[in-house]
C-alpha cells in the first residue's frame, strides 16, 4: 500500500513542478532529496545592479508539516552580510512571518504569510530584499549600522562574500 500523501506534500510537489516547467531567472530551488519534500535547497543569484550582483547564494528552506497554512523558514548557507538577515543566515522578511496581525504592529496582516504565497514569491521577495534592505527593522543590528554609517566598508565586505560564492 502506498504511503498517504499530505496536502503539504502535494502542494510542494506542484510548486516544484511549476518551478521546473517555468523557471524564474536567478532562482533555482527544489527538494534536497525525493524522500523529503519538506527540505529544499535554493540558489539565488544576486540581483543585477546591486552589490550582490554576480553572487550565487545558497540557502535552505524548511517547510512545516501544515504548509501552506504556516510559512517555511529560509536560511542562507552562504555567508551574506545584510541588515535583514540574522548572523546565522536566517532571513527576516514579512512574507515569512506567521499569518495574522503583527504583535509589534510594525507590518500589516497582508504583508505577512498567507496560504496563497509560494516558494517562487518568497524567493523573489528575498531577491528584492537583497536589492533594497530595510535598516529600520534589522535582523542584524551590526550590519544595519554598518550599512547606514560606513557604506563603503559594507560594500567591500559584501563584494568579498560575492567572490567567495563563486569559488
Catalytically annotated residue among 12, 81, 91, 92: 92
42 is a catalytic site residue: no
Work out the number of other CB atoms within 10 angstroms of the CB of residue 57: 24
N-terminal to C-terminal alpha carbon distance within the chain: 46
User: What SS3 state is found at 31?
Assistant: strand
Q: How far apart, in whole angstroms, are the C-alpha atoms of residue 29 and residue 42?
A: 4
Q: DSSP label at 4?
A: P
Q: How far apart, in whole angstroms, are the C-alpha atoms of residue 5 and residue 162?
A: 39
Burial class (CB within 10 angstroms; exposed 0-12, middle 13-18, buried 19+) of 78: middle
> Mind telling me the catalytic residues?
92
Amino acid at each position: 500500500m502506498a504511503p498517504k500523501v499530505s496536502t503539504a506534500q502535494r502542494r510542494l510537489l506542484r510548486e516544484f513542478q511549476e518551478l521546473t516547467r517555468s523557471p524564474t531567472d536567478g532562482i533555482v530551488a527544489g527538494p534536497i532529496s525525493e524522500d523529503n519534500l519538506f527540505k529544499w535547497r535554493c540558489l539565488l543569484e544576486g540581483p543585477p545592479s546591486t552589490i550582490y550582483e554576480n553572487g550565487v547564494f545558497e540557502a535552505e528552506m524548511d517547510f512545516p508539516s501544515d504548509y501552506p497554512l504556516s510559512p517555511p523558514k529560509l536560511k542562507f548557507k552562504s555567508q551574506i552580510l545584510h541588515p535583514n538577515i540574522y548572523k546565522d543566515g536566517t532571513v527576516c522578511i514579512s512574507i515569512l512571518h506567521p499569518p495574522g496581525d503583527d504583535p509589534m504592529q510594525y507590518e500589516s496582516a497582508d504583508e505577512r504569510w498567507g496560504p496563497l504565497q509560494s516558494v517562487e514569491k518568497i524567493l523573489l521577495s528575498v531577491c528584492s530584499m537583497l536589492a533594497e534592505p530595510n535598516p529600520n527593522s534589522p535582523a542584524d543590528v551590526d550590519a544595519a549600522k554598518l550599512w547606514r554609517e560606513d557604506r563603503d566598508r559594507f560594500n567591500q565586505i559584501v563584494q568579498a562574500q560575492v567572490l567567495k560564492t563563486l569559488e
